[in-house]
Amino acid sequence: MKELIEEFAGQIEKGIDIFKKTTPKAISRKYSNIVISGLGGSGIGGTIIKDLSSGFSNTPVLVNKDYSIPAFVGPDTLFIASSYSGDTEETLAATEQAIKKGASIICISSGGKLSQIAKAHQLDLLVIPGGSPPRANLGYSLTQLICIFSAAGFLPKEFQQDLEKVPAFLRKNEKNILDQSTWIAKEIFGKKVVIYSDASHEGIAIRFRQQLNENSKNLCWHHVVPEMNHNELVGWTEPTADLAVVFIRNSTDHKRNQHRIEINKGIIQAYTPSVLEVWAEGENELERALYMIHMVDWTSYFLAKLKGVDIMDIQVIDFLKQKLSEID
């Protein structure tokens, strides 16, 4: 896993090359809506690209994480199926329905049944390198989504140009990222983690939660500001020293949310001594987002090392899949 996290910048570079060599035909027309179907490490890129595009795209984006698809999916839908293995059963079921409803479809996968479906139905297929855990290959899958959105006009063209500069930016800031992630891991070690962010960066918070779950074998949850100010904040009413709170901060967070977070910190510090905040670095939204993703990935690695757990182990998920395979 250490080597895979180190390769994040390289994955972005290779991912850009993959897209340039296989530019999807489906991006050549307009759409009424976009649906991105994917789960776990294969699906988190959809949530992140939805956040990144929300201030630019006039086309609604829905991230689908189930067997079924929304009733509105049809010929005016761009449906993006993302499954690293190509065998995610929920994504396969959703894709088959999208085919029947006449959606334009782009598949992102390293192989498996999804690639077979794409070839059988002559769908656009972006093939990314396989053989590793899906969560460790976000650099490939998210890059495809950024390129699709930029080339199709759902993001400004400048985003693809910015993306090409990100690998050098990450390598330049690698020491700072490692220092920050090491510090965070030590601060949250031995605790359940609560992750808060501005609503516009929920995808980063989810990525953090998922990586702590899978890599660090750590229970945690996340919520967003301002929504948590209308419910969860009231739950902070008694000492909870076994919890560590991490606020993900960004200079572009809404001004009112910046004030809310400062007030929230003061309230929560009365109940737990472990309240941290981490600021994204970078000159644009893409740099800041990928900087933070790289940092939370490293944090999950260092926390796993502190806990002495096997970062690659996902036996409980394998057990679940085995049991499901026994059911008709």
| Each residue's pLDDT tens digit, 45-98 | 999 999 999 999 999 999 999 999 999 999 999 999 999 999 999 999 999 999
How far apart, in whole angstroms, are the C-alpha atoms of residue 126 and residue 110? 8
pLDDT, residue 302, reads: 97
The single residue listed with the structure tokens 């929504």 is 227
pLDDT, residue 166, reads: 97
Angle at 211 between CA 210 and CA 215, to 5 degrees: 125
Long-range contacts of 232-236, Cβ-Cβ distance < 8 Å, separation of 24 or more: 233/264, 233/267, 236/267, 236/268, 236/270, 236/271
Answer whether 117's CB lies under 8 Å from 123's CB.
yes
* Domains detected in the chain: 2-167 (3.40.50.10490), 173-307 (3.40.50.10490)
User: Which ranges of the chain have pLDDT less than 50?
Assistant: none
Give the amino acid at 123: L
Long-range contacts of 251-256, Cβ-Cβ distance < 8 Å, separation of 24 or more: 251/279, 251/280, 251/288, 252/200, 252/285, 252/288, 253/198, 253/200, 253/201, 254/198, 254/200, 256/226
Beta-strand ranges (E) seen in 149-287 are 192-198, 220-225, 243-249, 275-279
Angle at 217 between CA 212 and CA 221, to 5 degrees: 45
| Cis? peptide before 129, omega within 30° of 0 | no
pLDDT, residue 323, reads: 84
Beta-strand ranges (E) seen in 119-235 are 124-127, 192-198, 220-225
Counts of helices then strands in the chain (DSSP H, E): 12, 9
Residues paired with residue 220 on neighbouring β-strands, in sequence order: 193
The catalytic residues are 214, 230, 321
